[in-house]
């Protein structure tokens, strides 16, 4: 596969500028770069979703198929997107085969299920063909997508941040599988913001920066610092995390949970987060940590217990009520709960405070614009400006808008769910810096994350396992303490 001198523009933005990249057959090739560098755009050209404005895409030396010939594209390349292309209301078997029923006659359900079962067996995917795809967890869903891609004949697979929503054991299992696929000659393009993963699974790395190609090298020849320098264009080391001064015991709680429970997700749990304190919550996929944070943020109704902000009780199960009580939320899925795609960057970032831009709900555009511009600068959001549609942002920059919005109300409590998922190494620092600044100003922060880099900013970290808090780690923990506690073994 090769991209030769490809250029792609979206309106005034040049997303790719004369990029040439060759991926050797059988290699596992990493594509890295900061948010907005052009990675997803390159993937959209390599999968035939978009046509380049200049240059060309070639497979095995031959020109790419016409855009409309989806079947031809599917035979050459498949992409396991961060966002699933699996249809949740269909069964696994239907997802695997429905779009390629031969002949167009009546569907032979029994044969379809049989073929799906054989295919799942072949790729050792432990999922029943009759399972509703919506019931699959992230890991199973990705495996079904990979099996589907391979069964369509593709020997080149693009994995766009495949580990973003997996826990540590899921990632290890995925990597084992990728190595096995690689051994059978499958070529892979692997996109990740976790540079360690690049070293763990890839043999070659390409760096894009500001829409341009920067380097392609064997992974073994590029050190971590050199890679970060290539991505950022500046030769400075990563800053280390400054320890925070402990929050005095006399400081009152900003958030108080009393026997909060949600049947099937987590058991009754009591917790206090002081004003100015950052409390981390981590745990494996089924630990209940995300559901807990979603309950506090108003996305879910608890089956028992209470939530209060300062002395005031919060009506559960309502995002507006949580917001009114002073709880800002950065949700897990920025596509579903996070952003309103039809609105601009500025409108999204300032949505909860729109009432402040003029009397009686009237919005004075210049005021909104000024605030939005300040957010764009403060959170380092790469965009053409406040008027750009939020859908035009790269994934990581969209995440920054979600955080800007959550902080726009100066909340007493900030609830964050995997806040740095999809965010590049440098932006991660500015994003976590913004969270720390909010805490320094007195916000109580509850941060759910699997990322050790996120958790390092916390004053203490609670570890959940099967719906209960099983460990509490004070600042100064080692990585192995966290990993051991998450896996349910004591270190
Ligand atoms: N549909 C679109 N309309 C307008 N601009 C777009 C569109 N898609 C991408 N862009 C712009 O192209 C540039 C490259 O974005 P791209 O999504 O390829 O970045 P990325 O490297 O994948 O970033 P991330 O790591 O954040 O996912 C960005 O400036 C983005 O705003």
Locate the domains of the chain by residue range. Answer: 2-86+136-232, 253-486
CA atoms within 13 A on the CB side of 405: 27
State which of 6, 13, 160, 427 you would mutate to test the pocket of ligand 1, scoring each by most atoms of that ligand within 8 A of its C-beta. Answer: 13
- Check pLDDT > 90 for residue 201: yes
Candidates 232, 169, 163, 43; CA nearest to 421 is 163
The mean pLDDT of 349-376, rounded to a whole number, is 81
**Cβ partners under 8 Å of residue 99, min gap 6:** none
CATH number belonging to domain 253-486: 3.40.50.300
Residue nearest to atom 10 of ligand 1 (CA): 392
Average pLDDT score over the chain: 88
**Cβ partners under 8 Å of residue 186, min gap 6:** 26, 150, 155, 156, 157
Q: Kindly write down the DSSP assignment for every residue of 280-301, as one continuous string.
A: EEEE-TTSSHHHHHHHHTTSS-
Assess whether the C-beta atom of 388 lies below 6 angstroms from ligand 1: no
| pLDDT score, position 253 | 96
| pLDDT score, position 409 | 87
Q: Which pair of structure tokens corresponds to residue 459?
A: 């004053």
The mean pLDDT of 457-470, rounded to a whole number, is 93
Centre of ligand 1 from the C-alpha of residue 40, in Å: 7
**Cβ partners under 8 Å of residue 103, min gap 6:** none
- DSSP, res 162: T
- Check pLDDT > 90 for residue 208: yes
- Check pLDDT > 70 for residue 336: no
Residue nearest to atom 13 of ligand 1 (CA): 15
Assess whether the C-beta atom of 231 lies below 6 angstroms from ligand 1: no
| pLDDT score, position 429 | 85
Biggest CA pair distance of the chain = 74
| pLDDT score, position 100 | 67
Query: Given the structure tokens 């523009």, which residue do they identify?
Result: 9
User: What share of the chain in percent tops pLDDT 90?
Assistant: 49
User: How far apart are alpha carbons 470 and 368 in whole angstroms?
Assistant: 45
- Spell out the CATH class of 2-86+136-232: alpha beta
- DSSP, res 337: I
- In this chain, the answer to whether the domains covering 2-86+136-232 and 253-486 adopt an identical fold is yes
User: How far apart are alpha carbons 394 and 10 in whole angstroms?
Assistant: 12
| pLDDT score, position 491 | 45
- Label residues 281-298 b or e (16+ Cβ within 10 Å = b): bbbbbebbbbbbbbbbbb
| pLDDT score, position 232 | 83
| pLDDT score, position 335 | 66
């Amino acid at each position: 596969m090769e991209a030769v001198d490809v250029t792609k523009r979206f309106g005034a933005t040049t997303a790719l500028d004369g990029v040439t990249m060759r991926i050797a057959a059988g290699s596992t090739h990493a594509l890295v770069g900061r948010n907005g560098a052009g990675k997803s755009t390159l993937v959209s050209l390599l999968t035939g979703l978009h046509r380049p404005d200049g240059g060309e895409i070639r497979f095995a030396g031959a020109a790419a198929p016409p855009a409309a010939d989806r079947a031809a594209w599917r035979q050459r390349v498949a992409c396991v997107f961060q966002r699933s292309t699996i249809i949740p209301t269909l069964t696994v078997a239907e997802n695997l085969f429905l779009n390629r029923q031969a002949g167009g006659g009546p569907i032979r359900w029994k044969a379809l299920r049989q073929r799906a079962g054989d295919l799942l067996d072949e790729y050792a995917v432990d999922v029943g063909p009759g399972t509703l795809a919506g019931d699959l967890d992230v890991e199973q869903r990705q495996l079904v997508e990979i099996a589907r891609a391979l069964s369509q004949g593709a020997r080149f697979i693009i994995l766009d941040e495949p580990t973003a929503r997996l826990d540590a054991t899921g990632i290890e299992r995925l990597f084992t599988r990728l190595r096995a696929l690689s051994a059978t000659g499958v070529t892979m393009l692997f996109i990740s913001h976790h540079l360690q993963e690049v070293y763990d699974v890839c043999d070659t790395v390409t760096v894009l920066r500001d829409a341009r190609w920067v380097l392609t090298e064997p992974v073994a020849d590029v050190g971590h610092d050199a890679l970060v320098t290539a991505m950022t264009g500046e030769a400075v080391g990563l800053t280390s995390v400054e320890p925070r001064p402990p929050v005095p015991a006399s400081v009152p709680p900003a958030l108080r949970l009393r026997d909060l429970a949600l049947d099937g997700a987590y058991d009754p749990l009591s917790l206090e987060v002081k004003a100015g304190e950052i409390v981390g919550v981590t745990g494996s996929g089924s630990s209940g940590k995300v559901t807990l944070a979603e309950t506090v943020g108003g996305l879910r109704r608890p089956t028992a217990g209470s939530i209060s902000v300062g002395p005031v009780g919060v009506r559960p199960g309502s995002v507006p009520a949580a917001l009114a009580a002073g709880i800002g939320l950065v949700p897990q899925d920025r596509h579903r709960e996070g952003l309103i795609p039809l609105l601009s960057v500025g409108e999204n970032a300032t949505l909860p405070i729109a009432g402040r831009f003029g009397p009686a709900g009237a919005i004075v555009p210049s005021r909104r614009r000024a605030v939005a511009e300040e957010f764009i600068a403060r959170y380092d959001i790469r965009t053409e400006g406040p008027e750009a549609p939020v859908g035009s942002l790269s994934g990581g920059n969209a995440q920054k808008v979600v955080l800007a919005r959550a902080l726009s109300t100066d909340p007493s409590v900030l609830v964050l769910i995997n806040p740095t998922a999809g965010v590049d190494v440098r932006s991660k620092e500015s994003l976590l810096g913004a969270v720390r600044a909010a805490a320094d100003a007195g916000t109580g922060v509850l941060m759910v994350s699997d990322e050790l880099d996120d958790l390092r900013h916390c004053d203490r970290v609670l570890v959940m396992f099967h719906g209960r808090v099983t460990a509490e780690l004070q600042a100064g923990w080692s990585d192995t303490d966290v990993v051991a506690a998450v896996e349910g073994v004591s270190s």
